């Protein structure tokens, strides 16, 4: 835009015309003509759709071919429009952010805390995984090397406890007791009866001695 303005200004000066003269010819204000010559596209931000017509009127009044300027002017207008669009989007984002902060001032704090908690969670998980790996390694080493060492050692023999046998007292059999009682039994009816296990003898008085075995 500045190059276009320089071309038009040089042509006006070359013809010895003032801005007032050109204002009368083009029906444009001197302020508008001066902005065109300075390449101040910002001045026409509210009338961008008319900027092409303004430049055309000015170029035709000075005898400059507008077709030679149209391509550059269109590119300038498009670039400025894009910059305005981006600027407006950024400004709109800023306005939206400011409104959100006013409505909920703790929103940014919560987002920051959430990100921090996520980092803390990842760190905790990493420590847990590392701890499990270390415990697993020690367990493997213990099973592989320590346990076989204890298994190969000579087993400790348990002491043999011998319980002394108590000699059983010989108990007299029932038959012997009966026999002793019968030996001392009184004689009756001139006979004695002698009992020996499994046999009974009846003896006369003359054979008393033989009655007792």
Average pLDDT over residues 20-35: 93
Q: How confident is the model at residue 22 (pLDDT cuts 50, 70, 90)?
A: very high
Q: What is the pLDDT of residue 80?
A: 86
- Does the domain at 2-96 match CATH 1.10.260.40? Answer given as yes
Domain(s) labelled CATH 1.10.260.40 in the chain stretch across: 2-96
Residue of 119 and 129 predicted with greater confidence: 129
The mean of the pLDDT values for the chain is 73
Q: Give the 3-state DSSP-derived string for the chain, with helices as H, strands as E and coil as C.
A: CHHHHHHHHHHHHHCCCCHHHHHHHHCCCHHHHHHHHHCCHHHHCCCHHHHHHHHHHHHHHHCCCCHHHHHHHHHHHHHHHHHHHHHHHHHHHHHHHHHHHHHCCCHHHHHHHHHHHHHHHHHHHHHHHHHHHHHHHHHHHHHHHHHHHHHHCCCCCCCCCCCCCCCCCCCCCHHHHHHHHHHCCCCECCEEEEEECCEEEEEEHHHHHHHCC
Q: How confident is the model at residue 110 (pLDDT cuts 50, 70, 90)?
A: low
Q: What is the pTM of this model?
A: 0.42
């Amino acid at each position: 835009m500045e190059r276009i303005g320089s071309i038009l200004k040089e042509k006006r000066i070359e013809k010895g015309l003032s801005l007032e003269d050109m204002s009368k010819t083009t029906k444009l204000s001197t302020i508008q003509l001066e902005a065109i010559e300075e390449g101040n596209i910002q001045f026409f931000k509210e009338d961008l759709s008319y900027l092409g017509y303004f430049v055309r009127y000015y170029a035709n009044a000075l005898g400059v071919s507008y077709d030679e300027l149209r391509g550059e002017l269109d590119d300038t207008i498009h670039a400025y429009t894009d910059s305005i669009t981006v600027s407006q989007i950024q400004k709109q984002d800023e306005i939206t952010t400011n409104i959100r902060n006013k409505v909920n001032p703790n929103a940014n704090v919560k987002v920051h805390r959430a990100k921090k908690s996520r980092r803390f969670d990842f760190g905790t998980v990493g420590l847990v995984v590392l701890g499990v790996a270390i415990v697993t390694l020690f367990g493997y080493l213990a099973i592989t090397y320590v346990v076989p060492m204890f298994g190969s050692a000579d087993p400790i023999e348990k002491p043999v406890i011998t319980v002394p046998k108590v000699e059983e007292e010989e108990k007299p059999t029932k038959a012997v007791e009966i026999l002793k009682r019968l030996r001392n039994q009184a004689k009756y009816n001139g006979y004695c009866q002698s009992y020996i296990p499994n046999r009974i003898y009846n003896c006369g008085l003359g054979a008393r001695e033989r009655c007792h075995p």
